[in-house]
Structure 1
Amino acid sequence: MPEVVFSVDQSKSMRDQAVPGHNRWHPDIPVAAMVRPGDEFRIECREWTDAQLGNNDSANDVRDVDLTHAHML
C-alpha cells in the first residue's frame, strides 16, 4: 500500500489538525508534503464541509450547513 504523506485525525476539525487544513491554494500557505512525479502516495481528508454533514439521514444537516467553513483541502 502506498505511503500516507498527509494524515488526518477524523475526530478533529481540519483547523485542529497537527497540520491544519485550508480552503484555498495560496503562496503564503506552507506546503504540507512533497512528492515526486511517478510517486505513489495516499492522502487522508475529510468531506468538503469538514464533517458538518452527519451519517444520520437527516436533511437538517444540509439545511444547516455553514458554507463559510466549507471545502476544506
Structure 2
Amino acid sequence: MIKFTFRLVKSQVDIYVTGSNLKFLSNDIAIEFIGRGEEIKICPYSFKEIVQYFNLKENEYDLYFDDYYK
C-alpha cells in the first residue's frame, strides 16, 4: 500500500488520507508520512449553521434536530 501511495505522489496526484482516530494508524504508516503532508481539520456543521443554510423556521427545529444529531 505504501509503495502504491508513493507512486501516486511521484506522479503529481493529490492524495487525501482520512481518519477519525490516530490509534488506527499503524506506526509504520505514520512514520512513512512524517513531514510529507499537511493536516487539515474538518469539523461538522453546527445545528445553527444547518438552520441558517436551509432557512429553517423555529417550528421545524424538532423535525431536523434528530437527523442532525445522528
Higher fraction of strand: 1
**Fold-level similarity (TM above 0.5):** no
Greater length-normalized contact order (CA 8 Å, ≥ 6 residues apart): 1
TM-score, normalised by the number of residues in structure 2? 0.26
Higher fraction of helix: 2
TM-score, normalised by the number of residues in structure 1? 0.26
